[in-house]
Chains A and B, each alone.
Chain A
Amino acid sequence: MKQRPMLTLEDCKKIAAAAEAEAKRNNWNVCIAILDDGGHLLHLARMDGATPANARIAVAKGRTAAETRRSTANWQERVAKRIELLRMPEVTPVQGGVPIVFDGTCVGAVGVSGVQSHEDEQIAAAGIKALG
Protein backbone atom coordinates (compact mmCIF):
# COMPACT_ATOMS: atom_id res chain seq x y z
CA MET A 1 0.00 0.00 0.00
CA LYS A 2 1.27 3.44 -0.87
CA GLN A 3 1.65 5.96 1.94
CA ARG A 4 1.40 9.70 1.59
CA PRO A 5 2.13 12.75 3.72
CA MET A 6 -0.76 14.71 5.21
CA LEU A 7 -1.18 18.27 6.52
CA THR A 8 -1.83 18.60 10.25
CA LEU A 9 -3.73 21.41 11.98
CA GLU A 10 -0.36 22.59 13.35
CA ASP A 11 1.00 22.84 9.78
CA CYS A 12 -2.09 24.84 8.82
CA LYS A 13 -1.64 27.25 11.70
CA LYS A 14 1.98 27.83 10.64
CA ILE A 15 0.99 28.49 7.04
CA ALA A 16 -1.90 30.76 8.03
CA ALA A 17 0.22 32.79 10.47
CA ALA A 18 2.98 33.40 7.90
CA ALA A 19 0.47 34.30 5.20
CA GLU A 20 -1.36 36.66 7.54
CA ALA A 21 1.94 38.30 8.53
CA GLU A 22 2.76 38.86 4.86
CA ALA A 23 -0.65 40.47 4.32
CA LYS A 24 -0.35 42.63 7.45
CA ARG A 25 3.12 43.82 6.43
CA ASN A 26 1.52 45.23 3.28
CA ASN A 27 -1.61 46.52 5.00
CA TRP A 28 -3.78 44.10 3.05
CA ASN A 29 -7.02 42.59 4.38
CA VAL A 30 -7.53 39.18 2.86
CA CYS A 31 -8.99 35.77 3.49
CA ILE A 32 -6.62 32.78 3.66
CA ALA A 33 -7.98 29.27 3.13
CA ILE A 34 -6.06 26.00 3.46
CA LEU A 35 -7.47 22.79 1.95
CA ASP A 36 -6.33 19.17 1.89
CA ASP A 37 -5.47 17.21 -1.27
CA GLY A 38 -9.13 16.25 -1.71
CA GLY A 39 -10.16 19.90 -1.78
CA HIS A 40 -11.76 19.81 1.67
CA LEU A 41 -11.39 22.82 3.96
CA LEU A 42 -8.82 22.47 6.77
CA HIS A 43 -8.32 26.02 8.01
CA LEU A 44 -9.68 29.46 7.20
CA ALA A 45 -9.01 32.96 8.49
CA ARG A 46 -10.77 36.04 7.16
CA MET A 47 -8.87 39.11 8.33
CA ASP A 48 -10.86 42.08 9.65
CA GLY A 49 -12.00 44.14 6.68
CA ALA A 50 -11.96 41.30 4.15
CA THR A 51 -15.36 40.73 2.53
CA PRO A 52 -17.71 37.74 2.75
CA ALA A 53 -16.99 37.13 -0.94
CA ASN A 54 -13.28 36.87 -0.16
CA ALA A 55 -14.02 33.87 2.08
CA ARG A 56 -15.89 32.13 -0.72
CA ILE A 57 -13.34 32.96 -3.42
CA ALA A 58 -10.31 31.99 -1.30
CA VAL A 59 -11.84 28.53 -0.82
CA ALA A 60 -12.68 28.26 -4.54
CA LYS A 61 -9.12 29.16 -5.59
CA GLY A 62 -7.60 26.79 -3.06
CA ARG A 63 -9.90 23.96 -4.09
CA THR A 64 -8.96 24.41 -7.74
CA ALA A 65 -5.24 24.30 -6.92
CA ALA A 66 -5.63 21.29 -4.61
CA GLU A 67 -7.76 19.19 -6.92
CA THR A 68 -5.88 19.94 -10.14
CA ARG A 69 -2.37 19.95 -8.57
CA ARG A 70 -1.53 23.18 -10.32
CA SER A 71 -1.64 26.86 -9.39
CA THR A 72 -4.63 28.95 -10.40
CA ALA A 73 -2.11 31.34 -12.02
CA ASN A 74 -1.33 28.47 -14.38
CA TRP A 75 -5.05 28.05 -15.01
CA GLN A 76 -5.34 31.77 -15.70
CA GLU A 77 -2.54 31.63 -18.28
CA ARG A 78 -3.98 28.59 -19.98
CA VAL A 79 -7.47 30.07 -20.10
CA ALA A 80 -6.04 33.21 -21.73
CA LYS A 81 -4.73 31.02 -24.55
CA ARG A 82 -7.56 28.51 -24.66
CA ILE A 83 -10.86 30.14 -23.75
CA GLU A 84 -12.67 26.78 -23.95
CA LEU A 85 -11.00 25.82 -20.64
CA LEU A 86 -13.53 28.09 -18.93
CA ARG A 87 -15.97 25.22 -19.33
CA MET A 88 -13.91 22.98 -17.04
CA PRO A 89 -16.21 22.16 -14.13
CA GLU A 90 -15.49 23.57 -10.65
CA VAL A 91 -12.40 25.47 -11.72
CA THR A 92 -11.66 29.04 -10.59
CA PRO A 93 -8.94 30.16 -13.00
CA VAL A 94 -7.81 33.28 -11.13
CA GLN A 95 -4.33 33.68 -9.64
CA GLY A 96 -4.13 33.27 -5.85
CA GLY A 97 -4.41 29.49 -5.38
CA VAL A 98 -1.14 27.61 -4.86
CA PRO A 99 -0.68 23.86 -4.33
CA ILE A 100 1.38 22.70 -1.34
CA VAL A 101 3.94 20.16 -2.52
CA PHE A 102 5.80 18.02 0.01
CA ASP A 103 8.30 15.36 -1.08
CA GLY A 104 6.96 15.61 -4.61
CA THR A 105 3.36 15.01 -3.48
CA CYS A 106 0.55 17.55 -3.47
CA VAL A 107 -0.76 17.56 0.10
CA GLY A 108 -3.22 20.43 -0.35
CA ALA A 109 -3.34 24.08 -1.33
CA VAL A 110 -3.61 27.64 -0.08
CA GLY A 111 -6.17 30.02 -1.57
CA VAL A 112 -6.10 33.76 -0.95
CA SER A 113 -8.55 36.48 -1.94
CA GLY A 114 -8.76 40.17 -1.07
CA VAL A 115 -6.21 42.18 -3.04
CA GLN A 116 -4.87 42.02 -6.61
CA SER A 117 -4.47 38.48 -7.86
CA HIS A 118 -0.67 38.55 -8.00
CA GLU A 119 -0.64 39.91 -4.45
CA ASP A 120 -3.00 37.14 -3.34
CA GLU A 121 -0.51 34.65 -4.73
CA GLN A 122 2.38 36.41 -2.99
CA ILE A 123 0.56 35.90 0.33
CA ALA A 124 -0.16 32.24 -0.40
CA ALA A 125 3.46 31.61 -1.36
CA ALA A 126 4.71 33.27 1.83
CA GLY A 127 2.46 30.97 3.84
CA ILE A 128 3.68 27.81 2.12
CA LYS A 129 7.31 28.91 2.52
CA ALA A 130 6.87 28.85 6.30
CA LEU A 131 6.26 25.12 6.12
CA GLY A 132 9.95 24.72 5.28
Chain B
Amino acid sequence: MKRLLFAAIAATLTASVSAQQPAQPNPRDAVPDKMPNDIPYGAPISLDRAQAAINAAVAESKKRGWKLNIAVMDSGANLVAFARMDGAQIGSVAIAEHKARAAVKFRRETKAFESGVQEGNLHYLLTLDDIIASRGGIPIIDNGQMIGAVGCSGGTGSQDEVVCKAGVDALAKR
Protein backbone atom coordinates (compact mmCIF):
# COMPACT_ATOMS: atom_id res chain seq x y z
CA MET B 1 0.00 0.00 0.00
CA LYS B 2 2.77 2.39 1.03
CA ARG B 3 4.78 1.65 -2.08
CA LEU B 4 1.78 2.23 -4.31
CA LEU B 5 1.11 5.63 -2.75
CA PHE B 6 4.74 6.66 -3.26
CA ALA B 7 4.56 5.69 -6.90
CA ALA B 8 1.44 7.79 -7.33
CA ILE B 9 3.08 10.87 -5.80
CA ALA B 10 6.18 10.43 -7.93
CA ALA B 11 4.04 10.21 -11.06
CA THR B 12 2.20 13.43 -10.14
CA LEU B 13 5.49 15.27 -9.51
CA THR B 14 6.94 14.21 -12.84
CA ALA B 15 3.79 15.32 -14.62
CA SER B 16 3.83 18.76 -12.99
CA VAL B 17 7.51 19.31 -13.79
CA SER B 18 7.09 18.45 -17.45
CA ALA B 19 4.04 20.76 -17.66
CA GLN B 20 6.08 23.80 -16.54
CA GLN B 21 6.88 26.69 -18.93
CA PRO B 22 10.53 27.33 -19.78
CA ALA B 23 11.98 29.26 -16.76
CA GLN B 24 11.58 33.07 -16.97
CA PRO B 25 14.58 35.10 -15.78
CA ASN B 26 13.79 36.53 -12.32
CA PRO B 27 14.59 40.27 -12.30
CA ARG B 28 15.36 40.05 -8.58
CA ASP B 29 18.27 37.71 -9.33
CA ALA B 30 20.20 40.64 -10.84
CA VAL B 31 23.09 41.82 -8.65
CA PRO B 32 23.70 45.57 -9.01
CA ASP B 33 27.20 46.97 -8.42
CA LYS B 34 26.05 49.90 -6.32
CA MET B 35 24.09 50.14 -3.06
CA PRO B 36 20.52 51.40 -3.49
CA ASN B 37 19.33 54.41 -1.48
CA ASP B 38 22.82 55.02 -0.12
CA ILE B 39 21.97 58.25 1.71
CA PRO B 40 24.05 58.91 4.83
CA TYR B 41 22.22 59.42 8.12
CA GLY B 42 22.89 63.02 9.20
CA ALA B 43 22.60 64.83 12.53
CA PRO B 44 19.11 64.72 14.05
CA ILE B 45 16.76 67.50 12.93
CA SER B 46 16.36 70.38 15.41
CA LEU B 47 13.01 71.11 17.07
CA ASP B 48 12.88 74.50 15.31
CA ARG B 49 13.06 72.96 11.85
CA ALA B 50 10.74 70.11 12.78
CA GLN B 51 8.13 72.63 13.92
CA ALA B 52 8.64 74.69 10.76
CA ALA B 53 7.84 71.59 8.71
CA ILE B 54 4.72 70.92 10.77
CA ASN B 55 3.54 74.52 10.50
CA ALA B 56 3.92 74.45 6.72
CA ALA B 57 2.09 71.14 6.51
CA VAL B 58 -0.75 72.37 8.72
CA ALA B 59 -1.04 75.55 6.61
CA GLU B 60 -1.30 73.52 3.39
CA SER B 61 -3.87 71.19 4.94
CA LYS B 62 -5.93 74.11 6.29
CA LYS B 63 -5.88 75.83 2.90
CA ARG B 64 -7.55 72.74 1.42
CA GLY B 65 -9.96 72.25 4.32
CA TRP B 66 -8.35 68.93 5.36
CA LYS B 67 -7.72 67.57 8.87
CA LEU B 68 -4.56 65.54 9.23
CA ASN B 69 -2.01 64.25 11.73
CA ILE B 70 1.61 65.25 11.08
CA ALA B 71 4.68 63.69 12.69
CA VAL B 72 8.38 64.48 12.38
CA MET B 73 11.04 61.91 13.28
CA ASP B 74 14.76 62.59 13.59
CA SER B 75 17.53 60.66 11.79
CA GLY B 76 17.38 57.98 14.51
CA ALA B 77 13.65 57.44 13.89
CA ASN B 78 12.70 59.07 17.20
CA LEU B 79 9.70 61.38 17.49
CA VAL B 80 10.65 65.09 17.58
CA ALA B 81 7.39 66.93 16.92
CA PHE B 82 3.75 66.06 16.34
CA ALA B 83 0.48 67.89 15.66
CA ARG B 84 -3.08 66.63 15.31
CA MET B 85 -5.28 69.16 13.55
CA ASP B 86 -8.74 69.84 14.98
CA GLY B 87 -11.01 66.97 14.02
CA ALA B 88 -8.30 64.73 12.54
CA GLN B 89 -9.01 61.03 13.05
CA ILE B 90 -7.24 59.47 16.00
CA GLY B 91 -6.50 56.19 14.27
CA SER B 92 -4.08 58.13 12.11
CA VAL B 93 -1.93 59.34 15.02
CA ALA B 94 -0.02 56.06 14.97
CA ILE B 95 -0.03 55.88 11.16
CA ALA B 96 1.51 59.35 10.77
CA GLU B 97 4.27 58.31 13.17
CA HIS B 98 4.68 54.97 11.41
CA LYS B 99 5.06 56.58 7.98
CA ALA B 100 7.69 59.05 9.20
CA ARG B 101 9.56 56.27 11.01
CA ALA B 102 9.53 53.98 7.97
CA ALA B 103 10.75 56.82 5.73
CA VAL B 104 13.75 57.29 8.03
CA LYS B 105 14.48 53.61 8.56
CA PHE B 106 14.47 52.82 4.85
CA ARG B 107 15.73 56.21 3.61
CA ARG B 108 12.99 56.53 1.01
CA GLU B 109 9.44 57.70 0.54
CA THR B 110 6.86 55.22 1.79
CA LYS B 111 5.27 55.59 -1.65
CA ALA B 112 8.07 53.30 -2.88
CA PHE B 113 6.55 50.47 -0.83
CA GLU B 114 3.04 51.25 -1.99
CA SER B 115 4.13 51.19 -5.64
CA GLY B 116 6.22 48.09 -5.05
CA VAL B 117 3.26 46.18 -3.71
CA GLN B 118 0.64 47.61 -6.09
CA GLU B 119 2.42 47.94 -9.42
CA GLY B 120 5.58 45.91 -8.87
CA ASN B 121 3.79 42.91 -7.33
CA LEU B 122 6.60 42.82 -4.79
CA HIS B 123 4.48 41.21 -2.11
CA TYR B 124 7.58 40.23 -0.16
CA LEU B 125 7.84 43.91 0.90
CA LEU B 126 4.97 43.31 3.29
CA THR B 127 7.04 40.71 5.12
CA LEU B 128 9.87 43.18 5.90
CA ASP B 129 10.10 44.69 9.39
CA ASP B 130 8.48 48.06 10.16
CA ILE B 131 7.18 48.62 6.64
CA ILE B 132 4.12 50.63 5.70
CA ALA B 133 2.98 50.33 2.09
CA SER B 134 1.16 53.66 1.96
CA ARG B 135 2.33 57.04 0.65
CA GLY B 136 2.69 60.05 2.93
CA GLY B 137 6.10 59.48 4.55
CA ILE B 138 9.00 61.50 3.07
CA PRO B 139 12.64 61.81 4.21
CA ILE B 140 14.13 65.25 4.90
CA ILE B 141 17.45 65.58 3.10
CA ASP B 142 19.84 68.33 4.14
CA ASN B 143 23.17 68.74 2.32
CA GLY B 144 22.93 65.22 0.95
CA GLN B 145 22.26 63.73 4.37
CA MET B 146 19.02 62.49 5.85
CA ILE B 147 18.21 64.40 9.03
CA GLY B 148 14.69 63.07 9.56
CA ALA B 149 11.32 62.55 7.91
CA VAL B 150 7.76 63.82 7.85
CA GLY B 151 4.74 61.52 8.03
CA CYS B 152 1.11 62.47 7.41
CA SER B 153 -2.09 60.53 7.86
CA GLY B 154 -5.82 61.14 8.14
CA GLY B 155 -6.95 61.56 4.53
CA THR B 156 -6.50 59.52 1.38
CA GLY B 157 -2.90 58.54 0.68
CA SER B 158 -2.76 61.21 -2.02
CA GLN B 159 -4.00 63.92 0.38
CA ASP B 160 -1.52 62.78 3.02
CA GLU B 161 1.27 63.01 0.46
CA VAL B 162 0.42 66.56 -0.70
CA VAL B 163 0.53 67.85 2.87
CA CYS B 164 3.64 65.85 3.71
CA LYS B 165 5.45 67.32 0.71
CA ALA B 166 4.47 70.85 1.75
CA GLY B 167 6.19 70.22 5.09
CA VAL B 168 9.36 68.82 3.57
CA ASP B 169 9.54 71.49 0.82
CA ALA B 170 9.24 74.30 3.37
CA LEU B 171 12.55 73.16 4.87
CA ALA B 172 14.28 73.04 1.50
CA LYS B 173 13.40 76.70 0.95
CA ARG B 174 14.82 77.83 4.28
Tell yes or no: A115 within 8 A of B by CB.
no
A contacts with B, residue count (CB < 8 A): 17
Q: Mark A38-53, 1 if CB is under 8 A from B, else 0.
A: 1011111111100010
Within 8 A of B (CB), among A8-33: 8-9, 12
Determine if A9 and B86 form an interchain contact, defined as CB atoms under 8 angstroms apart: yes
State the Cβ distance, A12 to closest chain B Cβ, in Å. Answer: 7
Tell yes or no: B76 within 8 A of A by CB.
yes
Instruction: Given A9-B58, A40-B90, A41-B93, verify A48-B83 contact (CB < 8 Å).
Output: no
Determine if A43 and B84 form an interchain contact, defined as CB atoms under 8 angstroms apart: yes
Determine if B90 and A38 form an interchain contact, defined as CB atoms under 8 angstroms apart: yes
How many contacting A-B pairs (Cβ < 8 A)? 44
Determine if A8 and B86 form an interchain contact, defined as CB atoms under 8 angstroms apart: yes
Determine if B86 and A45 form an interchain contact, defined as CB atoms under 8 angstroms apart: no
The A interface is mostly helix, strand or loop, or mixed, namely: mixed
Determine if B93 and A45 form an interchain contact, defined as CB atoms under 8 angstroms apart: no
Separation of A31 and B50 alpha carbons in the complex (Å): 14
Residues on B with C-beta less than 8 A from A56 are 79
Determine if A46 and B79 form an interchain contact, defined as CB atoms under 8 angstroms apart: yes
Within 8 A of A (CB), among B46-98: 46-48, 51, 58, 76, 78-86, 90, 93
State the Cβ distance, B154 to closest chain A Cβ, in Å. Answer: 12
Tell yes or no: A60 within 8 A of B by CB.
no
State the Cβ distance, B29 to closest chain A Cβ, in Å. Answer: 39
State the Cβ distance, A50 to closest chain B Cβ, in Å. Answer: 9
The contact of A9 among B51, B76, B83, by CB within 8 Å, is B83
Residues on B with C-beta less than 8 A from A38 are 90
Separation of A56 and B86 alpha carbons in the complex (Å): 23
Separation of A36 and B46 alpha carbons in the complex (Å): 26
Residues on A with C-beta less than 8 A from B82 are 41, 43-44
The contact of A44 among B48, B58, B81, by CB within 8 Å, is B81
Separation of A129 and B166 alpha carbons in the complex (Å): 33
Determine if B84 and A45 form an interchain contact, defined as CB atoms under 8 angstroms apart: no
The contact of A55 among B78, B83, B90, by CB within 8 Å, is B78
Determine if B90 and A45 form an interchain contact, defined as CB atoms under 8 angstroms apart: no
Instruction: Given A9-B58, A38-B90, A48-B47, verify A43-B78 contact (CB < 8 Å).
Output: no
Instruction: Given A55-B78, A55-B79, verify A42-B84 contact (CB < 8 Å).
Output: yes
Determine if B81 and A45 form an interchain contact, defined as CB atoms under 8 angstroms apart: yes
Residue of B nearest to A52 (CB): B78
Residue of A nearest to B62 (CB): A9
Name 9 interchain pairs, CB-CB below 8 A, sorted by A.
A9-B58, A9-B84, A9-B86, A38-B90, A40-B84, A42-B84, A43-B82, A48-B46, A55-B79
The 4 closest A-B pairs by CB, nearest first: A52-B78, A44-B82, A40-B90, A55-B79
- Other A-B contacts than A41-B93, A52-B79, A55-B78, 11 sampled, CB-CB below 8 A, are A38-B90, A40-B90, A42-B83, A43-B84, A44-B81, A44-B82, A45-B81, A46-B47, A48-B48, A52-B78, A55-B79
